[in-house]
Structure 1
Amino acid sequence: MINIQPISNVIGVLLIMVSIMMFLCIPFGILDGFRDAEALMYSGFITLGVGLVSWLYKFKSSASINKREGYLIVALGWMFMSLASSLPYIFSEMNVSSIDSLFESISGLTTTGATIFSDIEGLPKTLLTWRSLTQWIGGMGIIVLTIAIFPLLGIGGIELFVAEAPGPTSDKIHPRIQETAKRLWLLYVGLTAFLFLLLMAFGMTGFDAINHALTTMATGGFSTKNDSVAYFTNPAIHYVLILFMFLAGTNYTVIYFGLKGKFKNVWSSEEFRVYLIFTLLLILVVGSILYAHSLYGFEESFRAAAFQIVSLMTTTGFITADYTTWGFGLTAIIFILLFIGGSAGSTSGGIKIIRHLVLFKNSLLEFKRLLHPRAIIRIKMNKKLVDGKIITHILVFLLLYILLFLFGTVTLCGLGIDFKTALGAAATSLGNVGPGIGEVGPVDNFGWFPGSVKFVLAFLMLLGRLEIFTILILFTPYFWKKA
């Protein structure tokens, strides 16, 4: 039997937190001549009121959460947060429609970075800050933050962490789940603050620096400029963002060990080694091709290659160059990157490196099993045996991911979108990347799509951000049957 009370209580807490974030944006509106300050104020009070009612309704401090309720909280929590996050756009002076507002809010919270706005620089600073903050909220997952304060509510949070944490990793910084969530967020906040200071030091204004710091660590990609990061011509800014995008796409457990000086633990991670080596090799190949074709100078070739590769592979989505002009071969490579993703346990979306690694290892061992059918041959990761259930879970995930990509592409084509654009839009939405190919390339936006297409893409964004199973499990009869 599903217990409604803790679901209502936790969603209430999430909405209260979202309202607090809205109020934090109001000072930017005051500094910008009060543009849209009222929009955030109205939205904040509405969200706060709904959140308080949901939190206080028949609250019981002894309520517990099982797996069913955990999945419901994650799915419903993101849906309610998306609806609440759309309010500032609806009340804005920009007169954004309901479907466009919902699309922008889901794109923000899922850290996809696809936008319906064509003139970013014309938006009020209040709204720009809210766009960035939604990505920062969604980056690590506001639900993980809630887990850190669950002891105050008397509610256990392990089921929520399982449902929310991106990727199939089981690494723990600390054996207690609440302590893990706290340390993850301290690390997240600390890296964001450090990046803000660096961007300021290299010439960004305070407003641009805080917005880009928020969206970089979230691997989100919302920018304050129409030309994204290409607006900033200082190479130092590009290199700093490359480094921090790479870090944001790294398993936070690995980052934590690195900061603690436990470099042996860092290098012992197979996923991190593959992530690092694959990224460097790809930069070397693409950079060499760009230089060989005289598209850029030597340094700029490798900087452009590094920025676009790291940005797309970590699903950040910032751009400094229009990669669709690099030729069909390099564009094909870029398109493949939309399916890679960063590390498990990071803020990036996509399939994740570890799943590709397990698939690759299992495929190689399958040939060995064919030669030795009676032998028991197991996969190892980080010198530890991988449980058969995890392998099955990963294979099913990959199959569902491909089917959803095909479903999205076919659906978009059926709604009148050309095939190339449908491919790019479905891939970038499901992978939470932002830019794609076709008419959703790095210099395009999603505002021209009809409402039905935006709805489909928003659904794909949620599926991708919540690792597919969290949403699809709600549509199975097994979920609703009594245990």
Structure 2
Amino acid sequence: MADYVQRKNHFNIGLIARIMGILILLNGIFMFTCLPFSFYFGDGDWWALTEAGLITVLSGGLIMFYGERKGYKKEIKKKDGYIIVSLGWTVMAFFGSLPYLFSLENPSLTNAYFETISGYSTTGASILTDIESVGKGILFWRSLTQWIGGMGIIVLAVAVLPFLGIGGMQLFVAEAPGISPDKLQPRIKETAKRLWWVYAGLTGIETILLMTGGMNFYDAINHALTTMATGGFSTYNDSAASMSPYIQYILIVFMILAGTNFTLNYFLFKRMFKAIWTNEEFRYYAGIIISASLAIGGVVAFSSDLTIEKSFRDALFQVVSIITTTGYVSADYTAWAPFATMIIFVLMFCGGMAGSTAGGVKIVRHIILFKNSFIELKRQLHPTAIIPVRFNKKAIKEGITFNVLAFIMAYLLIFGLGILVMSALGVDLMTSLGAVATSLGNIGPGIGTVGPVDNFAHLPDAAKWILSFLMLLGRLELFTVMIIFTPYFWSRF
């Protein structure tokens, strides 16, 4: 009997239900913010948004009520945090797909869920074939899902939960399980608040700058939302290809900022420039962008009749878009010389900085991987020497190195298995490579028939569900989801 009680209380069910209810409730409230655009443009999608919002808010409220009746301890343990994050993103994507289903923009549940999880995971892969024909309210919801997912609605909950008497440290750890970003304040609530203020502030600044370039308010705010989320959903069918050079440069700047650790963005607001440049990961991040842009720009300039400025602008735009996992498109990089296209494909495995809204492996993991590999060569010559891996001039714990190695190994294994599964479903090899790489890295466009001028609509439904799962894995950095499938997670001890 005692063992039964222990197993029954293994998870804090009441607390999990209460937090899930809060997340779903917030999701529904965000849906209602799309209504002004729907009414203004008169596209008739207001009813779908209203119905979806009401169902979502009501469902969230009922789940919260169940959590209250169930009773709970005001403490989030690690296992509870992993359940909340993994289940939270999955369930939010289900409710987030309701506006698409009710408006008949995506009558298929598969397509609606794919578009929604692509939004929340900030991947930007789409099944819409004519974006400009979609109702403006629904299109704003599409952009808003990326903005919500960018910083993570979980972090928003961390800022809110302390007011409800619930601490959020374990939840934050589950949301960012890799190399932890520096805390701006000792209390996690203050960290979450400041990160959101920076996030919202940069979104507002970008909106204004895009409008000064001739973009109307609707398109400007949509692109600002999806830029800062490194999501890449656009309100135009050709993404950024027909935008003016000024607007493209604005997008480049803010994509770089979105792919930068938000702690460093906070330092930028505080004009602490030395703290930014002395950050080792930022220097590598900037170096990769500059070197890759120069290499591709040179190839494009010599192999096409484009001007020097246009060649390097397209190269810079696509390099920044891919490395930050934003996914905007200003040119068809699959039509460039094979060398340039190969660099773009390699960049799909880089990712932005840790603590940013970018997906992918992250620059810091690559730095630690290469440093550890180099040190292993030294250890072969001096086997008794103790040579630690250093990052930002500080020795890092051996456990972090093991975590990085395990992450990259798991990433490559999942990438390989994903390609095999896609191929088994009848998808050609190049498309399988591109679809799996871009979904796992949360990038958007890939190669093959899911390249920058194509979309994912033609893929089999089974392939879309597989890619949806890969998007979730990539957004939560693998381990948060993978750990749930291990027997250790479900054991009592």
**How far is 1:95 from its partner?**
4.8
The one of 195, 204, 210 equivalent to 2:206 is 195
Check conservation: 2:360, 2:441, Cα contact below 8 A: yes
Partner of 2:35, secondary structure, is helix
Contact 2:12 2:73 in 1 (8 A): no
User: Aligned ranges for residues 95-174 of structure 1 at < 5 Å?
Assistant: 95-165=106-176, 167-174=178-185
Q: Where does residue 473 of structure 2 map in the other structure?
A: 463
Distance, in Å, in 2 between the alignment partners of 1:301 and 1:172 is: 40
Deviation at 1:58, TM superposition (A): 3.9
Amino acid in structure 2 at the alignment position of 1:221: G
What are the ranges of 5 or more consecutive residues in structure 1 without an aligned counterpart? Answer: none
1:214 corresponds to which residue?
225
CA contact (8 A) 1:432 1:465 kept: yes
Q: Where does residue 36 of structure 1 map in the other structure? A: 45
Change (3 A) 1:220 1:58: closer
Quick check: 304-313 or 152-161, which moved more?
152-161
Q: Distance in 2 between matches of 1:56 and 1:139?
A: 28
Could you give the per-residue CA deviations for residues 226-255 of structure 1, whole angstroms, max 9, x where no partner exists?
0001132x1000000000000000000111
**Match in the other structure for 1:50:** 59
Q: Deviations over 1:4-30 (max 9, x none)?
A: 011101111111111011000011111
1:178 aligns with 2:183: no
Task: Write the deviation string for residues 81-125 of structure 1: whole angstroms up to 9, x where unpaired.
Answer: 010101001101435211100000000000000000010001010
Partner amino acid, structure 2, of 1:481? S
Runs of 4+ in 1 over 4 A off after TM superposition: none
Identity %: 54
Aligned mates of 2:348, 2:412 — CA distance in 1: 12
Q: Structure 2: which 5+ residue stretches go unaligned?
A: 1-9
**Structure 1 residues 239 and 95: alpha-carbon distance in aligned structure 2, compared to 1, 3 A threshold:** closer
Q: How many residues align?
A: 482
Q: Is 2:397 aligned against 1:370?
A: no
Q: Tell me, what secondary structure is at the counterpart of 2:124?
A: coil
Calculate the TM-score normalised by the size of structure 2. 0.96
Report whether the alignment pairs 1:236 with 2:246.
yes
Q: What per-residue deviation string (whole Å, max 9, x for no partner) do you get for residues 166-209 of structure 1?
A: 74134111111000000000000000000000000001111110
Q: Corresponding residue for 2:31?
A: 22
**Mean Cα deviation higher: 94-103 or 57-66:** 57-66
Match of residue 410 from structure 1: 420
Q: 1: distance between equivalents of 2:485 and 2:425?
A: 24
Residues 18 and 81, structure 1, Cα contact 8 Å, conserved in 2? yes
Pairing of 1:287-302 with structure 2 (within 5 A): 287-302=297-312
Normalised TM-score (structure 1): 0.98
Counterpart selection for 2:257 from 247, 250, 257: 247
1:61, distance to aligned residue in structure 2 (A): 7.5
Question: Residue 11 in 1 paired to residue 20 in 2?
Answer: yes
Pairwise CA distance, 1:439? 0.3
CA RMSD of aligned residues (A): 1.1
Q: CA deviation at 1:36?
A: 1.0
Q: State the distance in 2 between where 1:323 and 1:399 align.
A: 28
Cα distance in structure 2, aligned partners of 1:325 and 1:167: 36
Q: Distance in 2 between matches of 1:26 and 1:459?
A: 30
Q: Equivalent residue for 2:404?
A: 394
CA distance in 1, matches of 2:162, 2:67: 18
Question: 2-side partners of 1:300 and 1:167: how far apart?
Answer: 38
Aligned to 1:331: 341
